[in-house]
């Protein structure tokens, strides 16, 4: 889902890079290469595009930053989480809308249920789109990806998944021991605990979780409720 979201965003954003007269610093740069991009000192979202040695300053869409690692003619604007920019550098004023703090970006969803780490909002051209990670995963705003909730700093995995793991146990070498536990009312899903942190997993097709062994086994050997056929959403 993340890759589709990025693709859609980049395609739309590519039409929003604004042209502006090149500043004196850009003109004096004289474009050493015929076609290329150049950074604008002190700014995160501005850049200079050289076309046939002629410089013109451009501005990334609100919410995106110029990526100096991108080679011409590829689109040079990306999300701040993927583009390094000095904290002292300036950015353009936010062009907020009623539902989006920036024209482009990923943000916490204001309509998500409490402790729901899997729902988030994606903004494209100031329009909000409610998105949801796959079951059991949480959205990580530090890299704009869905990840295990115990690896997302902003997520309380226990509250999100509704499960508290037993105290962590370790083997003779001090390595944490993984344990699996039943997901109530659904025999095709289970909690996997490592170092006291839960993850919600599901058995492969044709298998069901066996609480006695703590493993997924042939579904015909596990007594399941007729209404429990899939991982809960």
Task: Set out the domains of the chain in order of their start, with CATH numbers.
Answer: 2-78 (2.170.140), 105-156 (no CATH), 163-233 (2.170.140)
* pLDDT score recorded for residue 193: 96
pLDDT tens for each residue of 179-217: 999 998 889 999 999 999 999 999 999 999 999 999 999
Of 128, 73, 72, the C-alpha closest to 105 is 128
Residues of the chain with pLDDT under 70: 1-29, 226-233
Q: Who's near 147: CB < 8 A, 6+ residues apart?
A: 137, 138, 139, 140
CA 44 – CA 46 distance, rounded (Å)? 6
Listed residue (196, 224, 198, 220) closest to 207, CA to CA? 220
The answer to whether the CB of 152 falls within 8 A of the CB of 138 is: yes
Structure tokens at 101: 């703090």
CA distances from 163 to 15, 186, 194, 199 (A): 46, 14, 13, 9
The model's pTM is 0.79
Task: Give the model's pLDDT for residue 175.
Answer: 87
> Which tokens hold the place of 163?
């499960």
Greatest C-alpha distance within the chain = 77
For position 12, what pLDDT does the model report?
43
What pLDDT was estimated at residue 185? Answer: 81
At 178, list the tokens.
């993984």
State the pLDDT at residue 174.
82
Token pair belonging to 69: 């690692």
* Structure confidence at residue 208 (pLDDT): 96
């Amino acid at each position: 889902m993340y890759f589709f979201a990025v693709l859609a965003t980049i395609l739309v954003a590519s039409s929003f890079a604004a042209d502006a007269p090149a500043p004196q610093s850009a003109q004096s740069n004289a474009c050493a290469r015929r076609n290329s991009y150049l950074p604008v000192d002190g700014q995160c979202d501005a850049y200079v595009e050289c076309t046939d040695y002629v410089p013109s300053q451009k501005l990334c869409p609100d919410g995106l930053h110029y990526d100096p690692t991108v080679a011409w003619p590829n689109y040079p604007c990306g999300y701040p989480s993927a583009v390094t920019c000095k904290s002292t550098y300036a950015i353009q004023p936010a062009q907020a809308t009623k539902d989006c703090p920036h024209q482009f970006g990923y943000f916490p969803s204001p309509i998500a249920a409490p402790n729901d780490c899997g729902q988030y909002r994606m903004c494209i051209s100031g329009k909000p789109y409610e998105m949801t990670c796959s079951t059991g995963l949480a959205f990580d705003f530090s890299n704009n990806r869905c990840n295990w909730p115990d690896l997302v700093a902003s997520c309380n995995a226990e509250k999100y998944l509704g499960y508290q793991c037993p105290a962590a146990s370790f083997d003779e070498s001090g390595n944490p021991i993984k344990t699996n536990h039943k997901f109530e009312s659904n025999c095709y899903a289970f909690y996997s605990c490592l170092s006291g942190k839960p993850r919600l997993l599901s058995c492969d097709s044709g298998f069901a979780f066996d609480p006695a062994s703590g493993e997924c086994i042939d579904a015909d050997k596990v007594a399941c409720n007729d209404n429990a056929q899939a991982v809960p959403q």
